[in-house]
Chains A and B, each alone.
Chain A
Amino acid sequence: MVKKFIYSILPPGQWQMPVIILLGIFVGMGIYIIKISNAGSYLSDDPETCINCHVMNSQYASWQHSSHREVANCNDCHVPHNNVFSKYFFKAKDGLRHSTMFTLRLEPQVIQIKDAGRRVVHQNCIRCHEPLLQDRSMLAVVNSDYFHTRTDRECWDCHRETPHGTVNSLSSAPYARVPQLENPVPQWLRNFMDKQNNN
């Protein structure tokens, strides 16, 4: 059955050569795009991935100057961690929207989190800080409204500066220095070309 299908789409003899070449171009172009768009990095948890397109530079800078830098990367807070499928589904959903917006130049100047993102971040606050919520003996001060302050609001209603500060947009870190993308041309090829040019 499978064999029959493959044969059914195979081109006739005189077409095979051009089709193979075109498919080669197709695949090669695909690999090139994967390479220059750093597509592989999107599977990782590296915060530098989030500034591939330099839109999140100020968010990167504010995180990098926060205490969370020591213990959490972007994904620790901004994608779900209940299971691996949920994590990558959310990441793909967010990432595809971001890349579409960026390619079409639709990104807003002041980036604000969407509702789905808020819920994820809130759950992730709880994921790490759970003991504080469950065990009052962990706290220096216990308020009388202990139950309400921990159930009917989001963490950052009070912890407003955590971790990105209260100012959105480029204004938060207008001159931030952030890691730059590496040249996609590998070093050996550059060396080779330099040598050619010098000769």
Chain B
Amino acid sequence: MLGGIARRVGRRLLASIPALLGVVVVTFVLMRVLPGDPAAYFASGPSAGQEEIDELRRTMGLDKPIPVQLVRYFGDIARGDLGRSMTTGQSVVIDIQRRLPASLELTCTALFIALLLSLPLGVAAALRQGSVIDHVVRLLCTLGVCVPTFVSGLLLIYAFYYLLGWAPDPTARIDIFASPPPDITGFYLIDFALIGDWEGWWAAFRQLMLPAFTMALFVLAPLARMTRASMLAVLGSDFIRTAHAMGLARLRIVVVYALRNALLPVITITGIVFSTMLGANVLVEKVFSWPGVASYALDALLASDYAPVQAFVLLMASIFVLVNVTIDILYGIADPRVSVV
């Protein structure tokens, strides 16, 4: 079975290479038609002479035709060089390495919260179809997809920072006067826990909660809706009736037989949800001044700084592919019939 999974994963990874190459080409071309000449933008000032700008264009390789630049770019990617950001003056790889953990910590925490809330809600709604809890869950699902993250985030700030005072100032990952943890994994919660600094952990946790809940609210609806629908379908099937007829305990039927079968579509939708969260990160990180990769790419985009945006899109597409492969593996574990095929 392990060999089967490995073969499937290998095949999926190979099959995704054309799509990734396509992503690189499309982004590259898009960035090249961006208005504004980055050479002129990064020259010493508005008074910079034409010679200086031409010199900059040469060092940046912008004087070559676009196909040549593209081939060069592929070569750079193969060597692990994603170029240099003009705004931060640093290598994009280093910038992203520093900022990616912030985004991942936020996204993963949000997904965890969303699953923790949506699974019990969906199951409860399916078990008591037509009851108050069912209606509440359906209302929540309907409203949840209508509220844009930037509005819900700002309203959460108003309620929990301004009115209640429970949340800290919504800027960055940690209070500016507190010191960040040593860089071990880049995930503040894990790093603080590793060095045993629980005061710092609590500060980082408080800072993380509002943005994480904002994003969790955004994806709660599709998850709960799917859990409810798939639980309903499973609960109505023959093998559940048989289990009831055989006198199995209700809890055992629901958790062991129904839930495990109902989880398959939920796993699929979790993958889709994760990739929408990668996109929604841009808005949430902007609202909470979260120093992640999405806000980095946004700043670069507004400054016509090619390299970071290209790297960001490539990174997002790669994560997307990895998530899909992971979903595939989980699918195989949840339903052994899949891996036989």
Decide whether A and B are members of one complex: no
Residues of B within 8 A of A (CB): none
Residues of A within 8 A of B (CB): none
